[in-house]
A and B are shown apart, each in its own frame.
Chain A
């Protein structure tokens, strides 16, 4: 057998190994209900329940932030995050949490949030302009 064929086989084997390792470590976007059924970490997509209070008191613990999230199935769960409150958290439209359930709380290790940013939405701010036109 030619060496180049052996190398070709090795290359294919490594490529397959890479695909399998990725496949086995990819996760799914789930719900809190899914999270209750499993021990391992997973992604939960949902949005912040803005009616319920966010709790972050740096004086008590700078690494404790809790809030309530409704997942895409409408189920609500208390979420605890071991870090500081991300900036503009209240404004988020969608939240992707990574973590797992601990009792009745979901413990998030990462929070990804999607914010309505001025860089994605082109809206001319006319508030200022209106005030000025009243003065004319």
Chain B
């Protein structure tokens, strides 16, 4: 007999779980029905087709239903559900509750299956004669995604992981033997502070739409082979392929913008395995769409086009395996841990890989593969070469990223290259060089046959121009300090920009439909230019030139990535850093963020301030995660100044409230030995970091909470303190209470590191004694920060936007071609 637990809300979970099973059933029925609809020879019988559609509608509605249930659970803070407990908390603002929705793995699958359902519904309306076979494939993919959410035991093995799992079933603990356990669980664990960011709200849906849409060209390719409609599938699949490439590209760049704006990578790309994973399918997809266009125009490259499109979806599955199976272990900072889905994910990949290979092999003989060779001076040949190089670039990424997979498969213990980032940069740079050059060269070639003399002349002219401009850029930005291959990438990018610029200019004059590819290539070229300059010539502003303990081997900046890039600054003490004078001026807190205000000043030769701004890098301090820093960046048109906190003092216990009688809170140990000064009104007292003037004596001083009677005497010393170009006021008080007890109340000027006492009154001399306590430097608040300058990074973001516009133009063009045919 099951125990009855108090206070649980089991209904939304039961309904949600019902929807999970219904979505699985719907997908299963839809796949089977569409399969029989496709293979049925009776053209007049539409019953299978109708059943397939209805089953798919049920699947789509169930996904909406289960999403609603999960949202209900999270929104109402029902922490009896593991998902709500693990990823949200009561203090989480509503807009982050939305992102809490896809914080866990189950949420990721839910987004994916949601987008796939949306795409399926579009295809049911638009695909016409392709609907049956294409929807069979999409139904199968829906089936697998739905199974990931099942969370049901089959013969002792749990299939999938349900978002409606109860906390008491997910986690072991003696507490769950009590029927009133829920009254002890007041709050959830909350969201990882790193993810409490607006990017987390928009990045995952975009990325998952990109990943989900790769299934559409895949389904068309399979359908083409399966139905032996070899030539026909390409044309309708091109717009979908472009769409997938565009959205996936946006998703990836959003991830990198997120990393740059609010994570602590110190850059926009770190070659992290999960990052790499997200561009595997993009590379094959982009290669694929180019050869699809080649096939459409010339009839060449059929096999390559089909193969690359099929592999793109397999890559989507593979990257999802890498990110979710736990296989990456400690090589990635943002991989999930194994939820017991390792083999489930492997089966997912193998089924779709097997399906692809089965059709490629069985249909190989019938494929429309041309016997004739492409002409050397034809556009199709060099586009084909470009696609091959995109595939090779993907091959290299997969090979290196999968090192933990190889280790697991072959029982080896190979470590990744020591200079992993350098390795990726050089090899991927070489591929980028070839690919950018090809995006230029092919523009001068025509399909089928080109006039060679003219081709050589124009190509050489543009190469010459590109060499000149590249030389100027390399010299101007200091790119020549890097490896030669990066200069070649720059040359390729500039060449591509020039040539595609010309194509765009021609297109604007007349052949406007050709503009799409030119614009996309220009965007891609600009992205590479921006990424190259920003990453290659990024400068450390916070170079630490003083106070180094010399360590042999660390002076060279090779390998030792973080060497001497951090600077410690004390509060209110201006420090020179590159062109800037930097001062840490204070903190502010908006839980869980602690902002550190860093004032940057740029002075001209005469010492006048030419520019001043404040950056607020923040650190999230949470009980579970410790300190999580986020950078703040000053954006200029041509460069970015990026600042983040790298170390902080150990947090102290709360400081005693200001104004306690001296001796109560004995913090004298935090100060240097006191110095007493006998001064009259108008006198100046000097201290290490400035001076102060005794302005006047206030005979009617008040101290909070202490009533002054006629018998008491209270005198305040009004002091004006000047330190580091700032003025502060302080009024320590001297008091004789009831004619016998003598107190004095110190005042602190925290920012100047001072504690001031009016310790004696000397009426005979007409003077008072002011005791000055100075804080030694190392007791003052400080931060350690790192500041980087990224030149021309805006080219990267601008290039992305331009590339997206190019994709959009191409989608419209290919879509209109569809209607003409």
Question: Which residues of A are at the interface with B, using a C-beta cutoff of 8 A?
Answer: 2-4, 7, 11, 14-15, 18-19, 21-22, 25-29, 40-43, 56, 58-64, 80-85, 87-88, 91, 94, 96, 98-100, 102-103, 107, 109-110, 112, 114, 117-120, 122-124, 126, 128-129, 132-133
Contact = CB atoms under 8 A, between A and B. Distances in A.
Contacts of B373: 2-4
A129 B175 contact: yes
Contact of A83 (B186, B376, B565): B565
A107 B417 contact: no
7 contacts: A27-B415, A27-B417, A28-B414, A91-B626, A98-B418, A124-B175, A133-B184
A83 B563 contact: yes
Contacts of A117: 624-625
Contacts of A61: 544, 547-549
Interface string B372-394: 01101000010011001100100
B388 A58 contact: no
Contact of B396 (A7, A18, A43, A123): A18
Nearest to B780: A59
B418 A107 contact: no
Nearest to A113: B330
Contact of B418 (A41, A64, A80, A84): A41
A120 B552 CA distance: 38
A99 B30 CA distance: 56
A129 B182 CA distance: 10
Nearest to A5: B373
Interface string B265-290: 00000000000000000000000000
B347 interface: no
Nearest to A105: B551
Most B-side CB within 10 Å, residue of A60, A117, A118: A118
A99 B579 CA distance: 32
Sorted from nearest, which 4 A-B pairs have the closest CB atoms? A83-B562, A129-B184, A82-B563, A25-B417
Nearest to B326: A120
Contacts of A82: 551, 554, 560, 562-564
A59 B782 contact: yes
Nearest to B337: A120
B170 interface: yes
Contacts of B563: 63, 82-83, 109
B812 interface: no
B673 interface: no
B778 A59 contact: yes
A10 B283 CA distance: 19
A118 B553 contact: no
A107 B560 contact: yes
Most B-side CB within 10 Å, residue of A42, A82, A103: A82
B789 to A, nearest CB: 18
Contacts of B624: 117-118
Nearest to B627: A87
A18 B395 contact: yes
B411 to A, nearest CB: 14
Contacts of B554: 80, 82, 107
A84 B562 contact: yes
A3 B568 contact: no
Contacts of A28: 413-415
Given A27-B418, A60-B549, A62-B566, A122 B559 contact: no
B730 to A, nearest CB: 26
Given A18-B427, A60-B549, A62-B567, A109 B560 contact: yes
A88 to B, nearest CB: 4
Given A43-B418, A56-B647, A18 B399 contact: yes
B161 to A, nearest CB: 13
Contact of A22 (B192, B400, B552, B778): B400
Given A18-B395, A62-B544, 9 more contacts: A4-B374, A14-B389, A27-B415, A59-B777, A63-B563, A82-B551, A102-B551, A109-B563, A123-B173
Contacts of A56: 647
B173 A3 contact: no
Nearest to B178: A133
Contacts of B478: none
Contact of A110 (B385, B561, B626, B647): B561
A62 B647 contact: yes
Contacts of B86: 122
Contacts of A87: 626-629
Contacts of A110: 561
B171 interface: yes
Contacts of A80: 551, 554
Contacts of B784: 58, 62, 84
B670 to A, nearest CB: 15
Most A-side CB within 10 Å, residue of B415, B427, B544, B565: B415
B206 interface: no
A129 B175 CA distance: 9
B690 interface: no
A110 B385 CA distance: 38
A43 B415 contact: yes
Given A3-B381, A18-B396, A124-B173, A63 B544 contact: yes
Nearest to A3: B373
Most A-side CB within 10 Å, residue of B559, B564, B627, B649: B559
B528 to A, nearest CB: 20
A58 B647 contact: yes
Contacts of A26: 403, 414-417
B438 to A, nearest CB: 13
A29 B175 contact: no
Given A18-B427, A28-B415, A107-B554, A124 B185 contact: yes
A102 B553 contact: yes
Contacts of A59: 568, 777-778, 782
Contacts of B385: 7
Given A3-B373, A18-B399, A124-B175, A83 B553 contact: no
Contacts of B628: 87
B190 to A, nearest CB: 9
A31 B626 CA distance: 30
A63 B647 contact: no
B562 A63 contact: yes
A91 B627 CA distance: 13
A28 to B, nearest CB: 6
B646 interface: yes
Given A18-B399, A18-B427, A59-B777, A126 B560 contact: no
Interface in B401-445: 403, 413-419, 423, 427
A132 B184 contact: yes
A122 B553 contact: no
B40 interface: no
Contacts of A2: 373
Nearest to B87: A119
A112 B427 contact: no
Most B-side CB within 10 Å, residue of A15, A29, A61, A112: A61
Given A4-B373, A22-B400, A61-B549, A126 B175 contact: yes
A40 to B, nearest CB: 8
B167 interface: yes
Interface in B129-147: none
Interface in B345-392: 373-374, 376, 381, 384-385, 388-389, 392
B568 A11 contact: no
Nearest to B370: A4
